[in-house]
Amino acid sequence: MFCLWGTITIAQKQKVIDNDKILSWDTERKLTWDDFKASTDPDTYGFNDAMTTYTLEILPETVQVDEQDRIQGYQKMDIATYFFKKKSWTVKTDNLSLLAHEQLHFDIAELFARKMRKRFAELKKNKIDTFDAYQNTYTTLWKSCRMYQRQYDDETKHGKDIESNEKWIKKVHKELQELNDFSR
């Protein structure tokens, strides 16, 4: 099960964040059960054994838009993928296949961040500097990410179908590799 933090937030660009609240996506740093710090959600417990909460944030924090909808400094636009430790929870801390399932939710978020970065790069290359262009890219791919996450949960029965989950892991890691040029 996953939870999406559905607002567009704009934040300072930081290389890697790993504190008691937030973890930025990184190829070297995988989730551990210790990262899931929230109390179990009574509304979803029984249906799911864990919940991963993440966001895709537009960077940098200060984006100035002029009267013609043009972003000043649009060349610096970027996307970061963050896991919220205090909004993610689990009831099982010994199930490694469930942890792999939750990690893949976070990996899927990074996959869509890379898709956004790729589209941002295309906009920048074409010198498109309007706020609406970047906003529309974000909104469209955010919706696609949510649908992809739901499909992943449906096809893997929320990680309970180990064989299907392994297929998804291979699929998503292949897609991440194909978009490696757009990693942070």
pLDDT at 184 (0 to 100): 87
Output the CA angle 84-89-91, nearest 5 degrees. 165
pLDDT at 47 (0 to 100): 62
3-state SS assignment for residue 178: helix
Inform me whether the pLDDT recorded for 157 exceeds 50: yes
Inform me whether the pLDDT recorded for 180 exceeds 70: yes
Q: Which residues, 6 or more positions from 49, have their beta carbon under 8 angstroms from its beta carbon?
A: 90, 91, 92, 95, 98, 158, 159
- Cα separation, 83 vs 2, whole angstroms: 11
36-50, 52-66, 94-108, 166-180, range with the lowest pLDDT:
36-50
Q: Bigger pLDDT: 56 or 4?
A: 56
Q: Which of 44, 73, 47 is nearest to 58 (CA)?
A: 73
Q: Are 108 and 25 in contact (CB under 8 A)?
A: no
Inform me whether the pLDDT recorded for 14 exceeds 60: no
- Cα separation, 102 vs 90, whole angstroms: 10
Q: What is the pTM of this model?
A: 0.89
Could you report the per-residue pLDDT of 26-64, keeping only the tens digit for each?
A: 999 999 999 999 987 666 555 678 999 999 999 986 789
Confidence of residue 97 (pLDDT cuts 50, 70, 90): very high
Could you report the per-residue pLDDT of 24-33, keeping only the tens digit for each?
A: 999 999 999 9
Please provide the DSSP assignment of 130-168 as one string: BHHHHHHHHHHHHHHHHHHHHHHHHHHTTTT-HHHHHHH
pLDDT at 9 (0 to 100): 42
pLDDT at 60 (0 to 100): 84
Copy the structure tokens of residue 75. 């060349």
Share of the chain above pLDDT 90, in %: 80
Burial (CB < 10 A; 0-12, 13-18, 19+), residue 181, is exposed
